[in-house]
Structure 1
Amino acid sequence: MDEIAGRIREGVLPPGTQLPTVRVLMKQHGVALATASRIYRELESIGLVVGETGRGTFVRDTSLPRGLGLEQHPV
């Protein structure tokens, strides 16, 4: 989690970047599926990424308040 969070904060992964699926993350880093899922949940809880059902996990634009940008839901 720290590696991905650092890459987001450094701008290596800019806002809007789609992150690998949980299964790809699991294989890339040699972690269990539950661990890979937890990494994305924790990144989402600290506001660095947003998961969109059926689309994937994306880096948030942290300059926008939560509820705007990628995670905005249609009215």
Structure 2
Amino acid sequence: MDGHGGEYGSGVGEQGVCRAGAVVVLTGEGTRTIEQAAPPHVESVRRHFIDLLSPEQIEAFATIGETVVGRLTEGDR
């Protein structure tokens, strides 16, 4: 990456530093690990978070997310 990070000991990725905090580049093994973990993670987030919110709360959460992403990416334009 850029010399500020290091290889993860598990062999799933390499970390570097960027303006927003950290960047992780996955290895093939890391990609497979994420692909295996994603379905149960998504189901858990939906059950424990999304399903508890009203449509208005979800809209507010989306607006908050857009604000944060806008700030993190404003230097990319």
Specify if TM > 0.5: no
- Which entry has the higher C-alpha Rg, 1 or 2? 2
**TM score, norm. by length of structure 2:** 0.22
**TM score, norm. by length of structure 1:** 0.22
More helix by share: 2
Structure ranking higher on relative contact order (CA contacts 8 Å, 6+ apart): 1
More strand by share: 2
